[in-house]
Amino acid sequence: MTTQDFVGKGIAFPLELDSQGRLGMVTGAANIERSIALIVGTAYGERPMRPDFGCGIHDLVFNSASPELRTRIQLLVTSSLERWETRADILGVDVEFQQDNTLAEITVKYRIKNSYDVRNLLVPFYLIPEQEG
């Protein structure tokens, strides 16, 4: 079995049409990248038929950037990806705050299982700053 067979093929998200008018498909590493971004970008309860799918970082959107928030994001993203993306080994999650602490850049380092293909994926997460006054 090749890595391609293991990873599989899925419908492209956001939905798109190919040159023949069929739903676009993604394969290989692109399939896993889209899956990781989808898991991190989905809040718990957002999918009615699978309310436990997603990541709990969306409850942190109003928190101020801090070392504690960085650690919390790392733990939530790691646990969600380990649960929902079983085709990849999660090697690490790093969080850097940018743009006056309104953007958390989440870098996921992962390896496609049964391969030596180590990759990084940057997923942005926007924070809403506290109002002054």
pTM listed for this prediction: 0.83
Name beta bridge partners: 108: 93, 121
Q: Which CATH number fits domain 3-126: 3.30.565.10, 3.40.190.10, 3.30.499.10, 3.10.450.40?
A: 3.10.450.40
Q: Could you say which residues of the chain have pLDDT below 70?
A: 1-7, 13, 130-133
Q: CB neighbours of 127 closer than 8 A, spacing ≥ 6?
A: 60, 61, 62, 63, 64, 65, 97, 101, 102, 103, 104
- Give me the residue spans of the domains in the chain: 3-126
Q: Report phi then psi at 63, rounded to 5.
A: -80, 150
d(CA 95, CA 122): 10
Which pLDDT value is given to residue 28?
79
Are 38 and 46 in contact by the 8 Å Cβ rule? The answer is no
